[in-house]
Structures are given as C-alpha cells and as structure tokens.
C-alpha cells in the first residue's frame, strides 16, 4: 500500500480512536448525569464532584473526531451531517443544557437547585439518546425503512443504558460508603438491559446489512472473530461477579470500570471491522471521501501535535485527580 493509500487509513484510525475515547470518557459523566435523580442531595453533590474535573474536557475528543471527519473526509462529512442534522441538533442542545445546569446549580438557591439537577439529568439523557440514534443510522448507511428505524431506535435505547453502566462503575471507583454501595446496585440493574440490548443489536446488525453479514459469517473470518464475542461475554460475567456483594467496594473498586471499558472496546473493535473500508456504509469508502494527499500531509502534521497534546492533558487531569472524590467545594 502506497503512502497516498495509507493516509486515509491513518485518519480513519485517528477518527476511530477519538470517538472511542469520547464514548468512554464522556460516557461515564453522561451516565452519572442520568443517575443523578436516584441519589439524595448530599450524594448528588458527591456525584458531581466525581466528574467535575473531567466532564467538560472529555468533549474535546468529540470535537476532534468530527473535525477529522470534516477536514480529512469532506465528502463523507456532507453526507453524514445532512442525514443526521436533527439528532445532531438535539445532541448539541443536550450538551448545552448540561453545561448550563452544571454551572448554575452551584450558584442557585436551595429552592432552585432541584430544577438544575433535573435539567442536568435531561441534558444527559437527550445527548445519550441522540448519539444512540445517530450510531444506529450510521451503521445502516442511512437506509430508509421501518426495519432500519427500529434498529436505530434499539441502539438509541441501548446506548443510554450502557452509559448508565459506565457511570455506575465510575462511581464505584470514585466514591465510598453508601453512595458506592448504591452505585454497585445501579450497575447491576443497568447490566441486564445492556447485555440484552448488545446481544439483540449484534444479531440484528447482520440482518440490516448484507455487508456486515458477509464479513462476520464467512469462513475463516468467523473463526478469527470469535475472540470478540467471547471476550465481551467474559467481561459481562466478570462485571456481574464483581458488582455482586461487597467485592467491588474494596481494593477491587477499579475492576468494574475497567471491565466496562473492555465491553466498549470489544464493541468498538467489532464495529470498526464491520465498517472498514467504508466511511459511509456501502456508499463511500475512505479513499473516495478523503481529501487530496497534499492536504492530508498537512493535516497529519496538525494531528501529530494536537492528538498527543489532548492525550497528555487527559492523562495529567486523571493523574492529578486520582483517587476518591472529595466533598464538593466552591471557593
């Protein structure tokens, strides 16, 4: 493969990495937002404290992923943004509501604070549902029909449940005492619909896409891909075991979150294999959508600076705020 042919593959990998890191890093704070209504006032403050140093910067990965799509694959960007205009608008509305509620709940009078908590919950839910719908429509190549809409609807329901699981395991990692126990219980509750939803979507995806069906159920590819579903099942089984009882409340408090990341990683690998080499399923390949080689060379220099900088900041932030969340203070 020549350098000109390799460049679009590199940018597809960078875009995939950006979106995966966004789903993991913003997924836990979206999940915490959707769990906020289940906690008492003191626990709400601790939940907000657990995501406070991270939540805003996590969205940088979403901006990077969309930016790469725009500048590296402009032909696909126009198709994707046109087809997903409404859910993108809803997602942005949800993100705006989250940002406003996060800051306003700090300064609000006690009588108004519940309102901003509900808005933070609503913004998190709207964002998650919109992202699930967009993912479902993207996987089907924006095909029209009731079956494809139902498939997108299933993912729009399943993704928020997965975010809730991520948020619950994050709270197991970052909290102590009663909140940690409740977070483990929330995680077990979310695990059931996530397992069911992921299994249903895995079976439905080959049905709605002949390309995916051919990729997964042809030999010898089928045998080579078996580690992905087996690893996913193992992560789910270990999650249930660690969240049950007091196992996750002590030194193993990190394990549920790590296993949830493993589930997302397996799902991301399966999705990447299913989509490649298309940037719009069955319509536009990465080479057809890519910018010129000269432009990609310049863009790669920018990404070579930007991506390590964001990775470095992300690592630094998590290193500085490592350990259990402390009482929420504003001073």
Q: Of 33-37, 141-145, 296-300, 327-331, where does mean pLDDT reach its minimum?
A: 327-331
**Which pTM does this prediction carry?**
0.93
Least confident of 90-104, 136-150, 203-217, 219-233: 203-217
- Considering 147-151, 234-238, 278-282, the range whose residues carry the highest mean pLDDT is 234-238
Beta strands in 6-139 (DSSP E): none
Q: Name the pLDDT band for 96 (thresholds 50, 70, 90).
A: very high
Asked whether residue 162 is assigned to any structural domain, the reply reads yes
* Residue carrying the six token digits 């990683």: 265
Residue 322 confidence (pLDDT): 85
Number of CB atoms found within 10 A of residue 32's CB = 28
Give me the DSSP letters along 271-308. HHHHHTTEEETTTEEHHHH---HHHHHHHHHHHHHHHH
pLDDT of residue 329: 61
In a domain, residue 331? The reply is no
Look at residue 330 and tell me whether its pLDDT is greater than 70. no
pLDDT for 218 equals 79
299: in domain: yes
Q: What is the per-residue pLDDT across 286-315, written as a single tens digit (0 to 9) for each? A: 999 999 999 999 999 999 999 999 999 989
Q: In whole numbers, what is the pLDDT of the chain averaged over residues? A: 89
Q: In this structure, is residue 330 part of a structural domain?
A: no
Express each pLDDT in 2-26 by its tens digit. Answer: 999 999 999 999 999 999 999 999 9
Domain encompassing residue 133: 3-319
CB atoms within 10 A of CB 49: 18
Domain membership flag for residue 218: yes
CATH number at residue 89: 1.20.1630
Q: Has residue 254 been placed in a domain?
A: yes
Helix axes 85-107 and 113-139, enclosed angle (nearest 10): 160
Residue 327 placed within a domain: no
- Count structural domains, the chain: 1
Structural domain includes residue 248? yes
């Amino acid at each position: 493969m020549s350098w000109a042919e390799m460049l679009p593959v590199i940018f597809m990998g960078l875009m995939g990495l950006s979106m995966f890191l966004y789903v993991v890093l913003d997924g836990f704070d979206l999940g915490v937002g959707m769990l906020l209504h289940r906690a008492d006032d003191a626990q709400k403050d601790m939940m907000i404290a657990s995501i406070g140093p991270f939540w805003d910067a996590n969205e940088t990965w979403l901006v990077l992923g969309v930016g790469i799509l725009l500048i590296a694959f402009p032909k696909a960007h126009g198709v994707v943004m046109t087809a997903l205009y409404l859910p993108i608008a809803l997602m942005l509305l949800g993100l705006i509501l989250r940002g406003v509620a996060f800051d306003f709940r700090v300064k609000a009078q006690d009588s108004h604070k519940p309102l901003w908590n509900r808005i933070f919950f609503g913004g998190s839910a709207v964002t998650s549902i919109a992202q699930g719908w967009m993912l479902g429509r993207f996987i089907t190549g924006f095909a029209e029909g009731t079956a494809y809409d139902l498939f997108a609807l299933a993912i729009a329901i399943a993704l928020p449940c997965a975010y809730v699981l991520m948020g619950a395991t994050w709270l197991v990692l970052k909290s102590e005492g009663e909140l940690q126990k409740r977070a483990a219980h929330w995680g077990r509750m979310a695990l059931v619909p996530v397992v069911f939803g992921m299994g249903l979507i895995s079976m439905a995806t080959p049905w709605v896409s002949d390309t995916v069906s051919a990729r997964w159920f042809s030999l010898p590819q089928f045998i080579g891909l078996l580690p992905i579903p087996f690893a996913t099942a193992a992560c789910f089984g270990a999650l249930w075991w660690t969240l049950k009882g007091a196992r996750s409340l002590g030194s193993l408090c990190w394990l549920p979150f790590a296993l949830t990341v493993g589930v997302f990683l397996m799902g991301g690998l399966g999705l990447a294999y299913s989509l490649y080499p298309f940037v719009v399923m069955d319509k536009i390949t990465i080479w057809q959508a890519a910018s010129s080689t000269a432009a990609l060379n310049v863009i790669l220099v920018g990404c070579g600076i930007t991506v390590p900088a964001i990775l470095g900041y992300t690592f630094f932030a998590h290193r500085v705020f490592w350990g259990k969340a402390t009482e929420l203070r504003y001073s």
